Structure 1
Amino acid sequence: MPKTIAEINQKIKSQDALVLTAEEMISYVRENGLKKAAKDVDVVTTGTFGAMCSSGVFLNFGHCDPPMKMQNVLLNNVPAYGGIAAVDVFLGATQPSVWDENYGGAHVIEDLVCGRPIEVKAEAKGTDCYPKERLKTTVKLEDLNQAIMLNPRNAYQNYSAATNSTEDILHTYMGTLLPKFGNVTYSSAGQLSPLLNDPNLETIGIGTKVFLCGAQGYVVREGTQHNTEVERKNDVPTKAAGTLMLQGDLKQMDPRFLRAGIVHEYGPTLFVGVGIPIPVLNERIAKYTAVSDEDIEVNVLDYGIKKRDRPVVRKANYKELRSGRIELNGQEVPTSSLSSYKKAREVAHALKKRMEKGGFLLSEPVAHLPKSRVMPMNETAKRVLVCEIMKNAVTCDVKESIADVSRIMLKRAVNHIPVLECGKLAGIVTSWDVAKSVATGCDDLEKIMVKHVITVHPGDYVEEAARKLNVHKISALPVVDSENKLVGIITSE
């Protein structure tokens, strides 16, 4: 017989409910069968703990004397948005400090939850009703009227894994990606993850009560970039799909389930612990909550392709990813997670204990989350591709002498010559390299050419080429195809 949330809540209140974590549910179903599990188990608790950049807090400081309409607000030198009334601000987790790139909004949030004081500075134009123009003070979380965490996009449903096909190290929000498919990173708790245990969002909706960083929070509505119209396998999405907008009281949060972090050469982020109880209303939901890592497939995307729609290198499951190694293009490469499975397990167990003690009841959603498809940005300006502006490259062979190369440079009036070996790019030599060789008496082209060449592809956007020129402080970029064959060159000249 199907159960109701009201019936399960009565059992929770009387501490008679059978509550299992998502990990425990897998074993229970395997040992007892789906029918018995659906009958016996009342609630399955889930958990995730990972970097959730789309997070932040609304803070109300109360009015100073004389009053002030706070603008240009800095919290521990991190800019906060003050364009909402007089003494309300919104602080985003990924907002960096104006002074320290290794500190940001996430760290301010963690400082508040940990009871540490933060410095508040603000400037204002000054008006008849809000005459104060400058403010500098120190506050703690307890001094604030309200401190509401409101996260526009949390608990992604099966975010894709990442790898890198290029010859460069890439620093991304998915962590550091090594060259030539050197590693794979991912960010999910897999079988413990909330939305993977309710793939069709049957029990999770607007108003669902959640465990948010140790506090009792709620689903406000679907999160931004919520995308239900995706490829699925056994009902489980194989790519980034559903998301949740969550809110909770910062004053009730536990620093064990909320941590600030820095992603190298990307910036600040906030690690958020989210747990959602799934009521086992019928056999279908029991089946979903028994999903295991080996049943959940995920796309491994190539972040070396600087496009919105990155190609899928292969599909993998979370059992493979969590093993620490995965086969990619015929070789074994290491895998690593940006989320903590250990902390996700702690979240699920903490929620389970609260429910077993009758301290956390289920809530009936007031509405289902919508089905939707994510649309790309409407860009009105035409984006130029590298192939549209690249020039034919003047080249030389790796066996040519430096004297020959210098004559080519003079004759063709160029400062950069890509060096080829068997038709493929082997290096690049510049007029400066040739000048140095004359000064040192070196006549070996292979010794003076740059062998680790920064390149672009014909289909890359010009902005990416400009970024590489700037970051690497170079003045030319050979353009190569997927087989490293030279097809052109871009220079800053």
Structure 2
Amino acid sequence: MNKRTIGEINEKIRKGDVQVLTAEEMKKLVETSGVEVAFKEVDVVTTGTFGAMCSSGAVINLGHSDPPIKIQHAWINDVPVCHPGAAVDLYIGATMMSETRPFEYGGGHVIEDLISGKEVELRATSYGTDCYPRTRLRTILTKHDLNQFYLLNFRNCYQRYVCATNSRDETIYTYMGKLLPNFGNATFSGAGELNPLMNDPDYETIGIGTRIFLGGAQGYVIGEGTQHDPRNLSGTIMVRGDCKKMNPRFIRGAAFTRYGTTLYVGIGIPIPILNIRMAKKTAIRDEDIKVPIVDYGVPVRDRPKLGWISYKELKSGTITIKGKKVKVSPLSSLKVAKEIAETLKRWIEEGLFYLTAPVERLPTDTEYKPMKQTEETILVKSVVHHAVTCREDESIKDVAKRIINQSVNHVVVVDEQEKLLGIVTSWDITKAVAEGKNRLSEIITRKVVTTTLDEPVEAASRKMAQHQISALPVIDNDRKVLGIVTSEDIAKLLGRQRNG
């Protein structure tokens, strides 16, 4: 026997003699006994992943009120809900945030609450029509009151994802979590060798119509996910499942500090071992799966890659970045991913889950394209100007004269190589004079928020607003001062844009 069919595997499931291993078990079998033995002995390999999947949400049908309403705007537990279709069809996205508790509660939490059987409050407004006269609605609902409540996620189950770190002098808050300054930590996502798409990278058995474990219930792959990029081992899938049957153990709302809300989704896909080729693919190990280490401290689309790292190294807890030992932590749960693979294995063995052949394979040659932009992104290099500088050993009096003579509010403190040491402002000088201080070193702000020539002006402006400052020294990779940009510079630029 050199091949088997899904029909034959399903017959073995029906008879109760199907042989199922988790992806973790399959790798051990191949390692000890070889691919050929594994193919002969194993019918199905189960996989699993559990992580933040922002491109997720749920379709809800409310049924008609009396008198009926054609919903224009709606909120569930104060989270704005999209109204993409007819009168009472809604879509709640995982990343939509509560208007009363932003960054704490969002669409993902609403979905989890409904799945858990909790009550939620719906508010809706409309402009009113002859056939839909109602203009306002407020009611309390549970999942049992809904006609349809389907998870419809348009990008899930990334095949692999990057390792994130931060080169800036300040902590940043991202969808990869809290990243400490100066490569203070790193984070990663994904289940590595347990990931469903890593165990069938050519999509021989995963396609439209593939039955899967989704959120603790059975669901389906309905197409490739958005940004599906199989050429670069960054495939994704689009999935659908009945939320009323799901388990909140595997569907969890979450909030990332100062970034936003999301939904953790549990997905497991059974990989039928149809031939020896599939047995070999499901033997992939963490050490074989490498991802780039990406510097999220640079706020541009094509962030710098600082090297490549394997999932084996990532799961060790410590990696090396630019010669520095850095602690690395997962954003996904490997424990729950293993639980999903084990649960799916049990379902198949107990005859509760049958495999389906895809009615259409997912594309393997699509290419991810960046957004077409017709408006130029303005960078700091467009507004930077000469920075007035001084040395640390200069007197406060001399620096005060420089501020007056140069008509500036900020003086950048540098060393002999023109590298950044700190900054002083006209307010610092005024306060120092009032307090009778003479040494500049006593008043220097040494923890300086900076920018670079290639940073978007919008990002630089946001830094100033966040830190309540009015200027940013512009530095290069060696911290050499290249100039300065002020809030006044940015205000003038925006004024010119408004005036054409």
TM-score bracket, normalised by the shorter chain, equals: over 0.9
Deviation of the 1:454 alpha carbon: 0.5
**What do residues 150-190 of structure 1 show as CA deviations (whole Å, max 9, x unaligned)?**
00100001111101111111110000111111111000111
Give 3-state SS (helix, strand or coil) of 2:69's partner.
Answer: coil
- In the TM superposition, 1:250-399 aligns within 5 A as 250-370=243-363, 371-399=365-393
**Aligned letter for 1:459?**
D
**Aligned letter for 1:195?**
L
1:480 aligned residue: 475
CA distance in 1, matches of 2:183, 2:126: 51
Give 3-state SS (helix, strand or coil) of 2:82's partner.
Answer: strand
**Aligned letter for 2:274?**
L
Deviation of the 1:229 alpha carbon: 2.4
**Aligned letter for 1:288?**
K
**What do residues 364-422 of structure 1 show as CA deviations (whole Å, max 9, x unaligned)?**
11111112111111111111111121001111111111100000011111110101112
**Aligned letter for 2:435?**
T
2:10 aligned residue: 9
CA distance in 2, matches of 1:475, 1:406: 18
Matched, 1:161 2:166: no
Deviation of the 1:69 alpha carbon: 0.6
Matched, 1:469 2:470: no
CA distance in 1, matches of 2:238, 2:119: 28
**Aligned letter for 2:105?**
Y
1:130 aligned residue: 132
Unaligned 5+ segments in structure 2 are 489-500
1:456 aligned residue: 451
TM-score, normalised with respect to structure 1: 0.97
Matched, 1:409 2:403: yes
CA distance in 2, matches of 1:83, 1:221: 20
Contact 1:71 1:83 in 2 (8 A): no
Give 3-state SS (helix, strand or coil) of 1:120's partner.
Answer: strand
Deviation of the 1:83 alpha carbon: 3.5
CA distance in 1, matches of 2:238, 2:436: 66
Deviation of the 1:72 alpha carbon: 1.3
Matched, 1:437 2:437: no
**Aligned letter for 1:210?**
I
**What do residues 45-64 of structure 1 show as CA deviations (whole Å, max 9, x unaligned)?**
00000010110000001001
What percentage of aligned pairs have identical amino acids? 52
Matched, 1:243 2:236: yes
**What do residues 30-54 of structure 1 show as CA deviations (whole Å, max 9, x unaligned)?**
1221101011100000000001011
TM-score, normalised with respect to structure 2: 0.96
CA distance in 2, matches of 1:299, 1:9: 39
**What do residues 83-121 of structure 1 show as CA deviations (whole Å, max 9, x unaligned)?**
310011000001000100211001110110100000011
CA distance in 2, matches of 1:296, 1:51: 20
2:39 aligned residue: 38
Give 3-state SS (helix, strand or coil) of 2:83's partner.
Answer: strand
Deviation of the 1:260 alpha carbon: 0.9
CA distance in 1, matches of 2:28, 2:460: 52
Alignment partner for residue 424 of structure 1, among 404, 419, 428? 419
Matched, 1:218 2:231: no
Alignment partner for residue 208 of structure 1, among 202, 207, 210? 210
Matched, 1:63 2:64: yes
CA distance in 1, matches of 2:191, 2:74: 36
**Aligned letter for 1:155?**
C
CA distance in 1, matches of 2:274, 2:441: 70
Deviation of the 1:319 alpha carbon: 1.2
CA distance in 2, matches of 1:260, 1:492: 38
1:233 aligned residue: none
- In the TM superposition, 1:95-106 aligns within 5 A as 95-101=96-102, 102-106=104-108
Unaligned 5+ segments in structure 1 are 231-236
2:485 aligned residue: 490
**What do residues 290-318 of structure 1 show as CA deviations (whole Å, max 9, x unaligned)?**
11111211111111111111121111111
Contact 1:385 1:461 in 2 (8 A): yes
CA distance in 1, matches of 2:259, 2:487: 26
Contact 1:297 1:315 in 2 (8 A): yes
**What do residues 243-291 of structure 1 show as CA deviations (whole Å, max 9, x unaligned)?**
0000000001011111111111111111100000000111111111111
CA distance in 2, matches of 1:446, 1:286: 67
CA distance in 2, matches of 1:329, 1:87: 55
Deviation of the 1:82 alpha carbon: 1.6
Matched, 1:184 2:186: yes
CA distance in 2, matches of 1:200, 1:312: 26
Contact 1:174 1:185 in 2 (8 A): yes
Give 3-state SS (helix, strand or coil) of 1:342's partner.
Answer: helix
Give 3-state SS (helix, strand or coil) of 2:230's partner.
Answer: coil
- In the TM superposition, 1:68-83 aligns within 5 A as 68-83=69-84
**What do residues 61-85 of structure 1 show as CA deviations (whole Å, max 9, x unaligned)?**
1001111111210101100012310
1:53 aligned residue: 54
Give 3-state SS (helix, strand or coil) of 1:127's partner.
Answer: coil
CA distance in 2, matches of 1:210, 1:137: 34
2:122 aligned residue: 120
**What do residues 204-223 of structure 1 show as CA deviations (whole Å, max 9, x unaligned)?**
11111110001111111000
Give 3-state SS (helix, strand or coil) of 1:84's partner.
Answer: coil
CA distance in 1, matches of 2:236, 2:402: 58
Aligned pairs, number: 484
CA distance in 1, matches of 2:442, 2:297: 29
2:491 aligned residue: none
1:234 aligned residue: none
